């Protein structure tokens, strides 16, 4: 039996991935490439939906590639590519825009959140149509599984709705994808404000853990992470959101269960626990950071890996574009 297909993407919109990106998404990408036919892309076209500096976009695209490789994505096992190098994304993206209703697109909470921050007039049309481009990203590859964080659940639902509607109207064209969203770790919270998602564009820098930051900076941030009332290290999302977030992070990186961690820290204070979380995180990312920085020394090598992946992605994507065009009555 052929392997099921996985696709996911990440935006090159920051100088480093943050801990939420890794635990919510990329960590699963690494595992899934062992058992699935995996396609992972750096979604630079999505990055254009907000103000971008050309030099930074280039640098961040290469830094994203270096981080993905250092985190364990293997170009032998996965197809690692850049979205803009596969023009079929734009082709199918337009079809998706023409299939989606204005009403359903208007219900996307991510657009509402992001556009309300900048003011609706300042938001770009591309920010509004982003979920349709994302639907195209997914459906192009006849994807079965999409490993993402909780914040993408609504976009996956929209993708499924559009695909189902297209198939029933124009004939079987797309595989209907499913989201692969963890029960624990699908939403990592800001360590200064554990009621808010860890995110590069909101909250204070102090609550955001960038995996390429120095061990010293990250250790310091964890030691001043916000905790909760009481003294007990116990998982309780309502009463102890700060400690619960730190437990989730420790467990995901150390491989220990939450129950074991609660026992290990029984009778110890929050200070000891935060020190232990700091150490687990810093030691986990120390070699990854070094590897990513080393890979960044050879841009030509990174670019050649991406070109190879994009070439393969184009050939797979073209098959779906042809099928969709043909079913729509477009003369090929
Ligand atoms: N806090 C999070 N917890 C779990 N998963 C998360 N993801 C993002 N934040 C968290 C997941 O990371 C993947 C890549 O998402 P992206 O390309 O949208 O990354 P981002 O732009 O870096 O995410 P941010 O920080 O949340 O950006 P802004 O502030 O612009 O909204 C996705 O699978 C996502 O679910």
Where is average pLDDT lowest: 142-146, 167-171, 267-271, 309-313? 267-271
Confidence of residue 116 (pLDDT cuts 50, 70, 90): confident
Among 9, 13, 14, 21, say which to mutate for ligand 1: greatest number of ligand atoms within 8 Å of CB: 21
Q: What is the pLDDT of residue 184?
A: 85
**What's the pLDDT tens digit per position in 227-246?**
998 999 999 999 999 999 99
CATH superfamily placement of domain 203-291: Tyrosyl-Transfer RNA Synthetase (1.10.240.10)
pLDDT digit string, tens, across residues 130-164: 999 999 999 999 999 999 999 999 999 999 999 99
pTM: 0.96
Ligand 1 center to 331 CA (angstroms)? 39
pLDDT for 275-295, tens place per residue?
999 999 999 999 999 999 999
Measured CA to CA in angstroms, residue 178 lies from 2, 4, 135, 154, 250 at distances of 18, 11, 12, 12, 28
Average pLDDT over residues 20-30: 98
The pLDDT score that the predictor gives to residue 183 is 87
Q: Coil, strand, or helix at residue 301?
A: helix
- Nearest of 64, 244, 29 to residue 145 by alpha carbon: 29
Looking at residue 304, what is its pLDDT?
98
For tokens 């690692």, what's the residue? 80
Ligand 1, atom 35, lies closest to the CA of 149
CATH architecture classification, 3-183+298-326: 3-Layer(aba) Sandwich (3.40)
Q: What's the rounded mean pLDDT across residues 266-281?
A: 96
118 has a pLDDT exceeding 80: no
Q: Is 200 a catalytic residue?
A: yes
Active-site residue flag, 197: yes
| Active site (annotated) includes residue 326 | no
pLDDT at residue 45 in the model: 98
- Give percent of the chain with pLDDT exceeding 70: 100
- For residue 328, report the distance from its CA to the centre of ligand 1, in Å: 34
Mean pLDDT of the chain: 96
What pLDDT was estimated at residue 3?
96
| Ligand 1 centroid to residue 272 C-alpha, Å | 29
Neighbour order of strands in the sheet with 145-147: 78-82, 37-42, 5-10, 145-147, 178-180
pLDDT at residue 97, rounded to an integer: 98
Domain residue spans of the chain: 3-183+298-326, 203-291
List 4, 59, 77, 200, catalytic entry: 200
Domains 3-183+298-326 and 203-291 share a fold: no
pLDDT greater than 80 at residue 202: no
Asked if residues 19 and 27 have their Cβ atoms less than 8 Å apart, the reply is: no
Q: Is the pLDDT of residue 327 over 90?
A: yes
Residues 36-55 pLDDT 10s: 999 999 999 999 999 899 99
């Amino acid at each position: 039996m052929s392997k099921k297909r996985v696709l996911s993407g990440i935006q090159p919109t920051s100088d480093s991935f943050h801990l939420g990106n890794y635990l919510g998404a990329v960590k699963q990408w690494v595992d899934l490439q062992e058992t699935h036919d995996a396609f992972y892309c750096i979604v630079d076209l999505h990055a254009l939906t907000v103000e971008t500096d050309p030099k930074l976009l280039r640098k961040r695209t290469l830094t994203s590639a270096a981080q993905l490789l250092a985190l364990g994505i293997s170009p032998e096992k996965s197809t690692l590519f850049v979205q803009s190098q596969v023009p079929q994304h734009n082709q199918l993206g337009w079809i998706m825009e023409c299939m989606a209703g204005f009403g359903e697109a208007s219900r996307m909470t991510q657009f509402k959140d992001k556009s309300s921050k900048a003011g609706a007039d300042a938001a770009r049309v591309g920010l509004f149509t982003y979920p349709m481009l994302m639907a195209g990203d997914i459906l192009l590859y006849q994807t079965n599984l999409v490993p993402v964080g909780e914040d993408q659940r609504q976009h996956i639902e929209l993708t499924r709705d559009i695909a189902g509607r297209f198939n029933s109207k124009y004939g079987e064209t797309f595989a209907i994808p499913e989201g692969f969203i963890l029960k624990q770790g699908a939403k990592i919270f800001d360590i200064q404000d554990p009621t808010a998602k860890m995110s590069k564009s909101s909250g204070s820098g102090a609550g955001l853990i960038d995996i390429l930051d120095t061990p010293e900076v990250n250790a310091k941030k964890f030691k001043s992470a916000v905790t909760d009332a009481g003294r007990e290290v116990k998982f309780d999302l309502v009463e102890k959101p700060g400690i619960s977030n730190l437990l989730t992070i420790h467990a995901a990186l150390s491989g220990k269960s939450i129950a074991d961690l609660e026992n290990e820290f029984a009778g110890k204070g929050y200070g000891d626990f935060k020190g232990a979380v700091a150490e687990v995180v810093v030691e986990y990312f120390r070699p990854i950071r070094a590897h990513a920085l080393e890979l960044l020394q050879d841009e030509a090598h990174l670019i050649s890996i991406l070109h190879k992946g994009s070439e393969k992605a184009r050939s797979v994507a073209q098959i779906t574009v042809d099928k969709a065009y043909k079913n729509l009555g477009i003369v090929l």
